Amino acid sequence: MEGRFSRYFYTGRLRALGTPRGCALFCGALLLLAAGGGVLFSIVQSALTSSEPYAEAWGRAEADSRVIEELGQPLEAGWFVRGSLELADEGGAADLVIPFSGPRGRGTLRVLASREGARWSYTRINCELRSGTKTIDLLEPDPAKLRGRLPRGATKMREKP
């Protein structure tokens, strides 16, 4: 084997990777690195999905008649939440992007919030439909609730006498 890399193979510097022991060590290191990355990913996703801004946005999306009318029921959250969540003793901030879907399409919730003390205040909770034609502001009151109407497919619960 001639060329500029031939001296490494013949001098034994990289020959260790060609042995079964070297190959096993290399594969083990890759496996350990992948497992560590998977654990870290799982911890970050769990922190984002258990946060109050996530729960607030998801609750508003599931209860909003405009979202239900566009995407149908049931709504299912996507598995890959993106964004940032900063928490400190006296405050914090959240900027989340939450994918979700329904029987008739997909959407994305975008949340922008800040925290002072124990109270979160929301600057933006939007539902952007994947079709790209519509954005629903979930901070605005739901028109169906203002009129006392329910979305298609929803049933009114009876009060007990």
The verdict on 88 and 129 lying in the same domain is yes
The verdict on 114 and 79 lying in the same domain is yes
What's the confidence (pLDDT) of residue 40? Answer: 75
The verdict on 34 and 97 lying in the same domain is no
The verdict on 16 and 36 lying in the same domain is yes
The verdict on 73 and 25 lying in the same domain is no
In this prediction, what percent of the chain has a pLDDT beyond 70? 73
pTM, rounded to two decimals = 0.67
150 within a domain of the structure (yes/no): no
Q: Which residue has the higher pLDDT, 4 or 158?
A: 4
160 within a domain of the structure (yes/no): no
Number of domains into which the chain is organized: 2
161 within a domain of the structure (yes/no): no
**Tell me: the pLDDT tens digits for 47-75?**
677 788 888 999 998 888 888 888 888 88
CB-CB neighbours of 98 under 10 Å: 24
**Tell me: the pLDDT tens digits for 118-134?**
888 899 999 998 767 78
Contacts of 84 (CB under 8 A, 6+ apart): 93, 94, 95, 96
